[in-house]
Amino acid sequence: MTARSESIAIDIDDEQMSGTFLSPKSKVPGVLFVHGWGGSQERDLERAKGIAGLGCVCLTFDLRGHAGSGIPLSRVTREDNLRDLLAAYDRLLSHPAIDTSAVAVVGTSYGGYLAAILTSLRPVRWLALRVPALYRDQEWLKPKRDLDKADLMDYRGTLVHAESNRALHACAAFTGDVLIVESEIDDHVPHATIMSYRAACQQTHSLTHRIIDGADHSLSDPVSQQAYTSILVDWITEMVVGERLSIIQSQ
């Protein structure tokens, strides 16, 4: 299925974020991609092209402060980027080809953390988290770059309970399908953080956990990149096919 590509601008306050819609020719589920801290939509765009070809409307975008857009990265707070994500989600659902009851969010690292919180603020059917980061709830309005990195690593190295963390609390209430992808050799998001997310997902319809052997946090090895792409596309395919079948059976 051929995908159409459309460059867009997403308004937030008095600034704009750049994004790219990829959509098939018929009304289908939507997939929103959220990149990690210091990243951009570039890597997401490549995966979105393949997933749009499966029959989904995909939206990738650059969080403010990233890819040379918006406020300086040194001033960006988690509140800023969560509002960016909400604006992108709302823009995705405004697309005329979207089935608004069938939305997937794919988040990486910091983007995974924000994606988890998003599920408490907007309807999400499927949630894919690659190496989701974790942060203390305190200092929410402090520029993210100024957070104590040593303290963060100590925090991530312990099992964090859902009731004590906003992102995990959102996961605990989430009833859709979840994919968690872990990197075996990750110096930013340790295994304990992944287990905190897993432990929080008690009410999900399904939970899939995959570990990419030999992979680091950023998937710097092309083999690891391909492994993640395969995991994500296979999972999205399974979810979308299941959604389409349920619609057919209900007719």
pLDDT tens series, the chain, 251 aa: 456 788 999 999 989 999 999 876 567 899 999 999 989 898 899 899 989 988 899 999 999 989 776 788 899 999 999 999 999 999 999 999 899 999 999 999 999 999 999 999 999 999 999 999 999 999 999 999 999 999 999 999 999 999 999 999 999 999 999 999 999 999 999 999 999 999 999 999 999 999 999 999 999 999 999 999 999 999 999 998 776 656 545 55
Residue with tokens 């690292």: 109
CA distance 241 to 84: 30
pLDDT at res. 248: 46
Are 107 and 129 in contact, with CB atoms under 8 Å apart? yes
What CA–CA distance (Å, rounded) separates 63 from 41? 8
List CB contacts of 115: < 8 A, sequence separation 6 or more: 34, 85, 105, 106, 107, 127, 129, 132
pLDDT at 2: 55
Q: Which contiguous run of DSSP H or E holds residue 103?
A: strand 98-108
Give the pairing type, strands 15-23 and 4-12: antiparallel
Distances in Å between the alpha carbon of 129 and those of 44, 134, 178, 195, 251?
Answer: 13, 12, 8, 13, 32
CA distance 111 to 94: 22
Burial of 50 (0-12, 13-18, 19+ CB in 10 A): middle
Query: Which residues are paired to 105 by β-bridges?
Result: 32, 127
Task: State the Cα–Cα distance between residues 30 and 92, nearest whole angstrom.
Answer: 7
Q: How far apart are CA 5 and CA 26, in angstroms?
A: 14
pTM: 0.88
Q: Which residues contact 46 (CB under 8 A, 6 or more apart)?
A: 229
φ, ψ dihedrals at 250, nearest 5°:
-85, -10
Tokens for 226? 């391909």
Say which CATH architecture domain 4-250 belongs to. Answer: 3-Layer(aba) Sandwich (3.40)
Helix (H, G, I), strand (E, B) or coil at 70: coil
Question: What is the reported pLDDT for 5?
Answer: 84
Q: Which DSSP string corresponds to 176-205? A: SEEEEEEESS-SSS-HHHHHHHHHH--S-S
> What is the Cβ-side half-sphere exposure of residue 29, based on CA atoms within 13 angstroms?
27
pLDDT score at 250: 54
User: What is the torsion angle, in degrees rounded to the nearest 10, for the CA atoms of residue 223, residue 31, residue 89 and residue 39?
Assistant: 10
